[in-house]
Structure 1
Amino acid sequence: MATGGSDKDTPITKEKETPSTADKDTPGTADKAPPSTVTENPGRGMRLVMSAMGSKFSSVKHISTSDLEQWLHTGNDDIVVLDCREPREYDVSHMAESIRVDWNRVDVNQLINSLLEREGPAKKKIVCYCSLGFRSGTVAKKIQDFITKKKEESPPLEVYSLYGSVFKWANEGRPLVDNSGQKTPFAHPHIFLICGLLNKAVRKW
């Protein structure tokens, strides 16, 4: 997909072409999981943050890392994944085919119209992620509020925030790509204050 232009011109930024609902941490169901060597055992600090984000954005649906990977693995083509982080974070790694948006100044109406234009009406599930869930929860709530307000006009959409976001995803060894589209285990720690929640082996500033 083509780049959507500068951040001021459009809420969507696709830097590079790269290739709910929950597991033990949040309730939900999905299709059978792909073969994996993923280890799901978040530490106490991570569990506390995840719980706090879940409570803060309680009106938003959350999808687990395992369920999202199952969705993506089955080639479910009605999913759009939004990366709600800064360009420097996205450049280190992101989920394949994810589209970067500016979480704090996204125009939801323009975003929805842009997604429908770019991805087509078949895209009915929107999954947002960031580092730990605050930015993705903020975007997901804006979209959810828009869907509720424009229920009669809006196409049938479901929006989710990824529970534990990219920190949990990377800690579990799930697939990421760098800005060249190459597989990478690394993720950007975002800020020093929270970098300890991302395993040292996968941190990359």
Structure 2
Amino acid sequence: MQDDLNLVLDDARDTMDKAIAHLETELTKIRAGKANPQILDGITVDYYGAPTLIGQVANVSVADARTLTIQPWEKNMLQPIERAIIASNIGLNPQNDGLIIRLFLPPLTEERRKELVKRVNAEGEHGKVAVRNIRRDAIESIKKLQKDGLSEDIAKGAEGDVQQLTDKYIALVDKHCAAKDKEIMAI
């Protein structure tokens, strides 16, 4: 029984770690006024009939604090990459000079900053919901173990452990969101 209980707690911890990792990934996609190649993560381009990530068909680098350069390995990929960036709706207009594509990140207006902070907070709320769902599943598993013969005292202690774990990960979500908010609002 104790092994099953430890398995439930370990599983909850691992899943919460994955939820935090997902939140971090989503937050890096939100631009904060600085050029970051991760802005292009998740944008696919049609590469000989197969959807392929931009990073796999071109070299993406930071030219300066507000400029990204994309240099495709094949010249015929310039147009598809340009179309994919426009279609991705990330708010950037690619500048194609025939050799490389430049993305100029305009300085953020106060209104745009507030929109981005709202988006960060929405992502944070998604992260919190995911952590709470993991808590619910873990507590349900503990209750099933209790029906199978786990003592009530041990079950209540385990539920307390799950709640402590949940509180810790929700605080982590808040910490990541606060850091991203600060980064966005810094001029």
Q: TM-score range by the shorter chain?
A: under 0.3
TM-score by length of 2: 0.23
Which has more helix, going by share of residues?
2
Larger radius of gyration: 2
